[in-house]
Every structure is written in structure tokens, then in C-alpha cells.
A and B are shown apart, each in its own frame.
Chain A
Amino acid sequence: MRHDFLDRYSRLRSPVHRLPAPLKLATALVLVVVVVLLPPEGRSFLGAVAVFLLAVAGLSRIPWRFLVLRLMLLEPFVLGVAILALFQPGGGRLFLFLVAKCTLCLLIMVLLSNTTPFAELLRVLKAVRVPALLVTTLSLMYRYLFVLVDEAQRMRRARMSRTFTTQRTPAWHALATVVSQLFIRTTERAERIYGAMCARGWR
């Protein structure tokens, strides 16, 4: 399992990566709000935003293949909801407009997450007075996310190498056991982390 499936390219070196994180987060927020609020008449503005985003993507040196794949991965969620718009009169144009808007917003967020390390985003959240408990939770989550995903993967591999059944019921039982073991190990790890945090003078 790759560790960096979330923000693979957030540590590249490029003019976009060097920009301050607060600026990038604020720009992303403003762009998303503007695109979301755009009435159907403002189609040409969507084009302008798209050109701007493509320029940013080019400057940031994120591989195009990754961007396209990531968008394709997320697009089914958009299409799933947008397709419901086809079931009403005049839905065709609304459908296209919705898909265009949503794809742009997805591109904004994918670019933000791949040009800004999450730790810096957290620093911005801390600076704008997001409650400390939430910031602590988010940073611990980001720190241990990859550890736990790895742990789940290891347990899954161990199970696969020891069981040979393809039947559904035992598979569900076994997978549920993996999830429960993961939770038990998570609580044990949390206790160790608390001990380590106290030892280093937390609070």
C-alpha cells in the first residue's frame, strides 16, 4: 500500500508550492464559493476559472496523468447526483452545468491538497482560532492515518495468506474481525501515545 495516496505531490518544489498556505486556502475558498454561486448565465466565467486552474496546475508541476486520474476517481459521485437532474424537464443543460461546476470545484480542491502540506493547512486553521481540540484531533488523525491503514493492510494480508475460502459469510466474519482488531489496536496505541505525550510535557 502506498503511503502517499492522499496528498502525493504536496511536497514538490514549484512556484505554486512556495506560495503561503493561508493565501492558497483563501483563494480556494473564494473560488469554490464563486463557482458554486454562479448562475447559469455566467457560463463564460467558468471558462476563465478553468483556464486559471489549468495554468496553476501547469505551474505546480503535478503530473497531468495524476490530476486526470484523481478527477476520474471522484467524478462518479458527482455524476451519481447530477444524473438525477436529467429526470426533470430541461434537465440536460442543468446536468451539463452542474457537472462543469462540480468538476471545477473538485479540481480546485485536488490542486489545493496537492500543493499544500496538510500540516500547513492545520497551522492556518489554528491561526484562525479553530478550537484546539479539533486541531489536535485532525493532526493526530493525519499522523496516524497511514500507520493504521498499513496495519489494516498487514492484517488483511495475514488473513489472506491463511484462509482460502471464497464464501461470503466467513469472509464478512473475518473482515469484521479485522476491523474489530484494528479498533482494539487503535485504543492500545492511543494509550501509548498519551503516555508518550505526557512524557514530553503535553499540557
Chain B
Amino acid sequence: MHIPDGFLDSKTAVATGVLAATGLSVALRQARVHLPPRRVPLLGLAAAFVFAAQMINFPVAGGTSGHLVGGVLAAVLLGPSPAVVVVSAVLIVQCLMFADGGLSALGANILNMGVLGAVGGWAIYFAVSRMVKGLFGCVLAAAFAAWCSTVLGSIACAGELAVSGTVGWTVVLPAMAGIHMFIGVGEGFITALVLVAIARARPELLQPQAPVASTRSYGAVLIYGGLIALGLALFASPFASSWPDGLDRTAEALGFREKTANPLLPAPLPDYRMPGMHWSVLSTSLAGGVGTIVVFVLAWLLARVLVPKANRIEEAGPPRSP
């Protein structure tokens, strides 16, 4: 999901850069104010951990392999603001040291995987784990949130590519979201397995997020919420409404590459295309909705299998007592 240099035009790169810089500076401020000094080195170490964990390959069918992305895992273990710093550090090092993800697309990558992926994923995790208590709820919520954050990041990535006029919206969205719906299942599965293994060995490590969560300020929540809403509104809404026309026109007015998007419209079936597109929008949304429900059920089953019943009752105690 790392966008290389050259796929984003200037308006998208600047817009994502501003959003990412705002998110990162809020996260840094939150971490500086609320993170105890004892845990400051953990930020750097956790970033190194995410980088090292990404190099451990999990075998998937047919000789291919996948690896953990780790945004939601970091958010669950460290809290949302430290997770944004950690994911951003990983992305910066990958960009500067490995040329993985472009320099001009750094903002977009931080926005997709740091702000949308980690904070968005953490919000879903927080909501679900509030509803279902104990380790069972924690594992269920983390698996579901990991899937959601992967898909959310890929949709935003597709939106950025489409708004840049690099590739058509109707081509890039199904491709990106479709692939990442499967990748997300793996991500959720690994996240759940790792959390269960950590809970078995050092259950107290799963709790430090509680004080972080309780001391967060409403201003940060507002800014994060605003950033996620703005990011989705800018880069995911063309999918649901007639925005592409408006954006194409802006691009034309500003003199950006319009030639690539134009030939689609004077096609032989100008009237047929819009209903067709609406149909595809509807069916894609429907598929997305059904997929989300299926994944939630899968996460539920996974958490059921991974967390034994005796353990579930035993583990339900500690989070309530402190």
C-alpha cells in the first residue's frame, strides 16, 4: 500500500501532506504530554519492532507469503497517539533508507497507514472492545479493527490515486479494495494470534492502554476525528457521489492531466455509463457491507477459538478491577 513517487499530482500530495503533518504533530504533542518519560524510548523500539516484525513472513497458499503491517497492533498495545508516531517513523525510515514509498507521497502514506489506519483502527477497536469485555472482546475487536484499517487505508489510497488522475476511479477502487479485503483477513488473523500469545505470556502488557485512553483530551479526539472525516471526504467520497466530475473539472481548470480521464466520457454509450457506474457503486458498496459483516463473524469465531472459555471468565476480571 506504499504509494511510490510519481503517482500523486501536486494538489493531492500537498493536501495529504498537510493532513498527515497535522495528524502527526497532534500525535507528537499528545505523546509528549501524556506519555510517561519511562515509555519514550519504547516509541523508537516499537518502531524498530514493527519494522522487524514486517520481515517475518507468514506462509499463505501457493508459495506466496504475507507479513504483518502492525498499525492496529501498535495502536492496541501502545494507544492511538504513540501508534501514529510509531507508524510514521517506520514509514519515514522505509522512505529515506529503502526507497519504499515515495518522498513526495510520504504524506499520503502517513495519512493512509498512520492516521486512517492506526487511529481509525484504534477507534473501531475501542468501540468494539467496549461492547464485548475481557480478552475475548479485545481479540475480537483487534482482529476486526485490523481488517477495517487495512481496507480503510486501501480505499483512501485508491482515492488519492484516482483524484490525482493517475488511474480511473472505477478501475483502482475494486482492484485495491478487493485485494486488501483478503490481505486484511490475514492481518486480522496475525494480529489476533499475536495478541493472544502476548496475553498468555505477559498479560499486563495489554493493559497500559487503559491509562492512556483515559487521559486523552477531547481536543485531540476532535482533531483526529476531523482529520479522518476530511481524509475520507476528500479521497473516498467521489466513490459514493458525483464528485469525480467536479474534481475532474477542477483538475482541468488547474491544467492537470485531463487527457487521461476525458476519453472515458465521449465513449459510445454516454447515457449508459452513469447507470452502469451507479450499479457498480451499489454492488461494490453491498459487497463491502456483506464483507464487513462476514469478517466480524469470522473475528468472533476466531476469538472464540483462540480464547478458551475458562480463560475468558478468568480474564474478564482484571480489566474491571483497576
Are A98 and B189 also in contact (CB < 8 A) when A77-B100, A187-B205 are?
Answer: no
Q: What mask results when residues 133 to 167 of chain A are scored 1 for a CB within 8 Å of chain B, else 0? A: 11011111111110111011000100000000000
User: With A141-B93, A183-B198 in contact, is A101–B5 under 8 Å at CB?
Assistant: yes
A1 vs chain B, min Cβ distance (A): 9
Residues of B within 8 A of A137 (CB): 43-44, 47, 85-86, 89
CB of B32 closer than 8 Å to a CB of A: yes
**In the complex the two chains form, is B89's CB within 8 Å of A74's CB?**
no
Q: In the complex the two chains form, is A77's CB within 8 Å of B171's CB?
A: no
Q: When the two chains form the complex, which single residue of B59, B100, B171, B205 contacts A184, counting CB atoms closer than 8 Å?
A: B205
Measured CB to CB, the nearest residue on chain B to A131 is B28
B49 touches A183 (CB 8 A): yes
Interface residues contributed by chain B, number (CB under 8 Å): 76
Which one of A11-19, A36-44, A49-57, A58-66 is at the interface?
A36-44
Contacts A110-B99, A171-B59 given; indicate if A180 touches B194 (C-beta within 8 A).
yes
Q: Tell me which residues across on chain A come within 8 A of B163, comparing CB atoms.
A: none
Asked if B45 and A140 sit within 8 Å, CB to CB, the answer is yes
A111 to B, closest residue via Cβ: B99
| Contact B202 A184, beta carbon cutoff 8 Å | yes
- Say whether B5 contacts A152, CB under 8 Å: no
A144-B45, A152-B55 given as contacts; is B96 within 8 A of A112 (CB)?
yes
Given contact pairs A106-B4, A109-B95, A190-B39, A84 touches B171 in the complex (Cβ within 8 A): yes
Contact B4 A78 (CB under 8 A): yes
Name B99's contact: one of A106, A186, A190 (CB within 8 Å): A106
Chain B residues near A98 (CB, 8 Å)? 6-7, 166
Q: Mark B247-265, 1 if CB is under 8 A from A, else 0.
A: 0000000000101100110
A152 touches B52 (CB 8 A): yes
CA–CA, A131 and B88, complex, Å: 13
Chain A, residues 156-197, CB within 8 Å of chain B (1/0): the string is 100000000000100111011111111110110111011001
With A113-B99, A148-B49, A184-B201 known, 15 other A-B pairs at CB within 8 A are A35-B5, A84-B161, A90-B260, A91-B260, A98-B166, A102-B7, A133-B31, A134-B24, A144-B48, A176-B197, A179-B190, A184-B205, A190-B42, A194-B37, A203-B37
Residues of A at the B interface (CB closer than 8 Å) are 6-7, 28-29, 32-33, 35-37, 39-40, 70, 74, 77-78, 81-82, 84-85, 87-91, 94, 98, 101-102, 105-106, 109-110, 112-113, 118, 121, 131, 133-134, 136-145, 147-149, 151-152, 156, 168, 171-173, 175-184, 186-187, 189-191, 193-194, 197, 203
